[in-house]
Amino acid sequence: QKEVEQNSGPLSVPEGAIASLNCTYSDRVSQSFFWYRQYSGKSPELIMSIYSNGDKEDGRFTAQLNKASQYVSLLIRDSQPSDSATYLCAVAYNNNDMRFGAGTRLTVKP
Amino acid sequence: DGGITQSPKYLFRKEGQNVTLSCEQNLNHDAMYWYRQDPGQGLRLIYYSQIVNDFQKGDIAEGYSVSREKKESFPLTVTSAQKNPTAFYLCASSKTGVGSPLHFGNGTRLTVT
């Protein structure tokens, strides 16, 4: 069973704080991991991709991957109200089979 | 500009009718996908296709059908056998090979009454 688990939230942080979003997955052969942001009523947009253990930083976003623990996270530094959205964790299995978690709803309060 | 076009944006149908959702891409991607999203939930995979004339069932394929006659097009038919068809449908595409992210269309919101 290919499962991707996320805390559905909602997660609420004050403006300027660090938001931490977590995701676990069930299949050890997973190779690629993605974070998407989805605003209400819109389609998901790619924020980060990560393929190897460790941290990957892009601006205010940092993705962290620990394959031994089957865990991937997303940190958002200096959170802004415009970051308020649902964040989807996605895991790519073999042959482009991509599975998504249920998403974590983040609210950044001014 | 390259992208994925889904049409229509909103679709209303009566129960018992089949309906086809359009998805066209000009990104020259080999792989295409259909996902369903219900309110407050994540994306569930309906079908995906890696090459023309070939496709695989996802987790919730029952009541749906697809075709992939052209690389650019991957239409989804919601049949009358689908018990709860009202949802937000998302089409996506990607390059082949593990590690390629998905690019999404703007979605079609289907309401069946």
- Cα–Cα distance, B2 to A65 (Å, whole number): 31
Provide, as residue numbers in chain A, all residues whose Cβ is less than 8 Å from the Cβ of B102.
34, 44, 46, 90, 98
Which among A31, A90, A103 has CB closest to B98?
A: A31
- Cα–Cα distance, B97 to A57 (Å, whole number): 23
pLDDT digits (tens, 9 = 90+) for B11-22: 999 999 999 999
Angle at B28 between CA B6 and CA A88, to 5 degrees: 55
pLDDT digits (tens, 9 = 90+) for B70-112: 999 999 999 988 889 999 999 999 987 767 899 999 999 999 9
CB neighbourhood size of A21 (10 A): 22
| pLDDT greater than 80 at residue B64 | yes
Is the CB of A45 inside 8 Å of chain B's CB atoms? Answer: yes
Average pLDDT, 10 consecutive residues per value, chain A (110 residues) = 83 97 87 93 94 95 94 97 96 80 95
Residue for token pair 């978690």: A101
- List, in order, residues 6 or more apart from B93 with CB less than 8 Å away: B4, B25, B27, B29, B31, B32, B33, B74, B102, B103
- Cα–Cα distance, B102 to B92 (Å, whole number): 6
Total residue length of chain A: 110
Query: B56: helix, coil or strand?
Result: strand
Which among A88, A92, A101 has CB closest to B99?
A: A92
* pLDDT confidence of residue A96: 67
Tokens in use for A38? 């989805």
Residue for token pair 């097009």: B73
B44 class by beta-carbon count within 10 Å (0-12 exposed, 13-18 middle, 19+ buried): middle
Question: Do B50 and A96 lie within an 8 Å CB cutoff?
Answer: yes
CB interface of B with A, residues 4-23, below 8 Å: none
CB interface of B with A, residues 72-91, below 8 Å: 90
